[in-house]
């Protein structure tokens, strides 16, 4: 059964989406990356995550090209604002630039990329003004720990995007349970661990049992957590389609126990990991 996550507004989203970090930066790879995004969309990965930071807008422009000819309502678009652009005056300007690059009138969700000097309350108020104006359908944050979320204390925050993969499980100790208790989806970035995690023999053993790949096992592990949406990036069409198959992969109790043995879950609070 395909895994899904229910968003704050009631929309049901696939538990896997498409990440775009470092995409759109090399003109020689543009056609390959466009094919990867289109293949992912065709395979049902209809949530696309990006940021104004990614190639200073190049990833957003790439997405616009990949979406040409598709119905806007079929895609859930997420982008992120730089912390230095997250204030009352600069956030609307940054959002307008992102919308222009994405060739759309509205984002489904707009995130604060990480926290810096702008007060969270000011950012939240600016986000709400953009939602009231119809430029975004919702907003959230990224790279915020429990203490930050408690300071924000805003039920209108739709999500928190953080690092989560088998080799980096710190959020399982407190942040993920905190979000689950509030019905707030967690978006897991870099869910394949930038590669090295996939060479662990435990993942290969589990993959062999399922006729799957280590990457599919890692993704299935991430989205086995209730309320988690993983957003792997792939620059190749075949890999994007392969990733999508993780939506159907059901890990057994034995599989999960073997992953725990290879990548022990946290037993204490850890500083929030970031890339």
pLDDT digits (tens, 9 = 90+) for 126-163: 999 999 999 999 999 999 999 999 999 999 999 999 99
- Per the domain annotation, does 210 fall within a domain? no
pLDDT in tens, 50-104: 999 999 999 999 999 999 999 999 999 999 999 999 999 999 999 999 999 999 9
- Per the domain annotation, does 215 fall within a domain? no
The whole-chain average pLDDT of the chain stands at 97
State residue 194's pLDDT score: 75
Please confirm, yes or no, whether 82 is among the known catalytic residues.
Answer: no
Compute the Cα dihedral for 252, 257, 261, 265 and give only its sign.
positive
Strands 109-112 and 228-231: unpaired
pTM over 0.95? The answer is yes
pLDDT mean over 234-255: 97
State residue 111's pLDDT score: 99
- Per the domain annotation, does 50 fall within a domain? yes
- Per the domain annotation, does 204 fall within a domain? no
- Per the domain annotation, does 167 fall within a domain? yes
Tell me the helix, strand and coil percentages in the chain, rounded to 5: 45, 15, 40
Give the separation between CA 95 and CA 270, rounded to whole angstroms.
Answer: 33
- Per the domain annotation, does 35 fall within a domain? yes
Give the separation between CA 32 and CA 43, rounded to whole angstroms.
Answer: 16
- Per the domain annotation, does 252 fall within a domain? no
Do 191 and 217 touch, CB atoms closer than 8 A? no
pLDDT in tens, 165-224: 999 999 999 999 999 999 999 999 999 997 789 999 999 999 999 999 999 999 999 999
State residue 232's pLDDT score: 97
Six token digits for residue 256: 């999960």
Enclosing domain of residue 48: 12-193+228-244
- The total domain count for the chain is 1
Which CATH number is 88's domain given? 3.20.20.100
Give yes or no for residue 45 having a pLDDT over 90.
yes
Nearest alpha-carbon partner for 222 in 206, 238, 246, 198:
246
**The tokens 């204490």 sit on which residue?**
268
- Per the domain annotation, does 189 fall within a domain? yes
């Amino acid at each position: 059964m395909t895994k899904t996550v229910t968003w704050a507004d009631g929309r049901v989203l696939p538990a896997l989406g498409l990440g775009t970090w470092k995409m759109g930066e090399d003109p020689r790879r543009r056609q390959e990356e466009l094919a990867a995004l289109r293949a992912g969309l065709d395979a049902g990965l209809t949530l696309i995550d990006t940021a104004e930071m990614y190639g200073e807008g190049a990833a957003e422009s790439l997405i616009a090209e990949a979406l040409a000819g598709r119905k806007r309502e079929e895609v859930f678009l997420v982008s992120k604002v730089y912390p230095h652009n997250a204030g009352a005056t600069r956030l609307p300007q940054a959002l307008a630039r992102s919308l222009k690059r994405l060739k759309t009138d509205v984002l489904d969700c707009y995130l604060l990329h990480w926290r810096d000097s702008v007060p969270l309350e000011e950012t939240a108020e600016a986000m709400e003004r953009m939602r009231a104006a119809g430029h975004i359908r919702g907003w959230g944050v990224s790279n915020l720990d429990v203490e930050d979320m408690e300071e924000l204390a805003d039920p209108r925050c739709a999500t928190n995007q953080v690092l989560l993969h088998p080799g980096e499980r710190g959020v399982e100790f407190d942040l993920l349970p905190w979000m689950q208790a509030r019905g707030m989806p967690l978006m897991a970035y870099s869910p394949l661990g930038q590669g090295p995690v996939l060479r662990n023999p435990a993942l290969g053993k589990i993959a062999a049992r399922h006729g799957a790949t280590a990457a599919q096992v890692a993704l299935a592990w991430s989205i086995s957590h209730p309320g988690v949406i993983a957003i792997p990036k792939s620059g190749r069409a075949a890999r994007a389609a392969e990733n999508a198959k993780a939506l159907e992969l059901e890990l057994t109790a034995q599989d999960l126990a073997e992953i725990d043995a290879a990548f022990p879950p946290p037993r204490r609070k850890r500083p929030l990991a970031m890339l």
